[in-house]
Every structure is written in structure tokens, then in C-alpha cells.
Amino acid sequence: MTRLLRSLLLAVLALMLVPTTAGAQIFIARDANGTTVLSNQPVHQPTKIFNVHGAPTYRTTTALSGNAQLYEDLVLEHSKRHSLRPELVRAVIQVESGFDPRATSPKGAMGLMQLMPQTARSLGVANAYDPDENIRGGTLYLRQLLNKYGSEQLALAAYNAGPGAVDKYDGVPPYRETREYVRKVGSKAGATAPPGKPRTVIYRSYEIVDDRVIPKLTQDPPRGPYEIVG
């Protein structure tokens, strides 16, 4: 079996495993450049698509997670560092990029967790296409949003639409894309802990001033070395 055929078969199988009201049907769309899009439902509105590795003229509306295992160690490392559920981080990567480290959105979002250039700079990410840097920055950003909003749903809405939109509407913004994003990631990430008092993560860092070491506690992860104390 050729690599192209094997890649296309994996794409078709992935689409058929996604439950839809239309059943196990595959819909095909083609653009003027000859790129073929495979979908599990008719494409009636702008829809995010993903590369099919080994088949450069094909795209799919369902991300293939064949590369997921390559980044599992990084997901576990950075999830633990920022007290995040690994399931949540995996789900964000799956929906954002389909585990494609070279993914670039039309708006300029980059890498596995689709960091915008300004966000990447604020997180200290020098190369957003480096998987380690990208996941480090993306998980740090998720933790900052969770600390601010206290729930995964609102943190995901802010990750997609920006904190300004969540603040403006005092909740998940009424944008179709954002609501669908929250639903998709939440579905893939699985159930969260029962509702209760949101957990606030406390970070401790140290600063040396005039021959003294001064501990500092903050809810925002410091740029330098730190430890989680609560």
C-alpha cells in the first residue's frame, strides 16, 4: 500500500468514526487549486481544515491524531507544571492544530496550540513552531486564564475569542465559532471535577535584593524559576 493511499484511508476512517446525523457519509469539496477536502458533513459555512500527512493535495475537517503520541511526554510535563488536566491540553491541541507543529492559521496563529504572535511574545515563546516552547507557552496561558475565570469553560472561551470578549459578555461570548470550540474541546477533554470553589494556584519565586533573598507569592506564573506551593 502506498503512503498516499494509506494516509487517505486513515483520513476517511477518522471521519467515519465521528458521529453525525447523516451517518457514515463522506462529503467531498474541491477548490480551484485542486485541493480536495474530505468531510463527514456538508460544508455550508467556513470550516477549519487540517493537513493529511503524506497527501499534500488533500485536507480533512477532522484532525488526525496520529502524531499525538510524539508529544505525549511534553503534554504530561507541562500539564503537571501548571496543574492542568492532560486531557484538557490534549483536547486543545487536537482541536487547534490536529497535532501539526507547523500549523499556521489564516490569522497567524502558530504551532500545536495556535499561539498568536503577540501572545507568544508575552509568554516568552521565541519559536512557536518548536513543540516544547509552544506547549510550554500554551499551557502557561491556559493556567493564567483558569486562574482568572475559575472554570475550564470560560478559560476555553477566552483562549479562542480572547479575554476581552469573555469580560464584555460576562461569560461565553455569543459567537458561533467560540461556542462550537468550547463544545468540541470540552467533549474531547471529558468531564471535569464536580462544581465547587475554583482552585487558585499559588506560585513562589525568589528575588535577591541587597544581599537578601526575598520570597514572593503570586497567582501569576513568574517568568523565572518558581515552585507551586498551593
Q: Which three cell numbers stand for residue 86?
A: 492532560
Of 96, 133, 180, 207, which is the active-site residue? 96
Q: How far is CA 23 from CA 16, 42, 141, 185, 230, in A?
A: 8, 12, 37, 22, 47
Residues facing 204 on adjacent strands: 217, 227
Q: Name the 3-class secondary structure at 222.
A: coil
- If you search the block for the grid coordinates 455569543, which residue do you land on? 174
Annotation marks residue 227 as catalytic: no
CB neighbour list of residue 73: distance below 8 Å, 6 or more residues apart: none
From CA 114, how far away is CA 128, in angstroms rounded? Answer: 8
Catalytic residues: 96
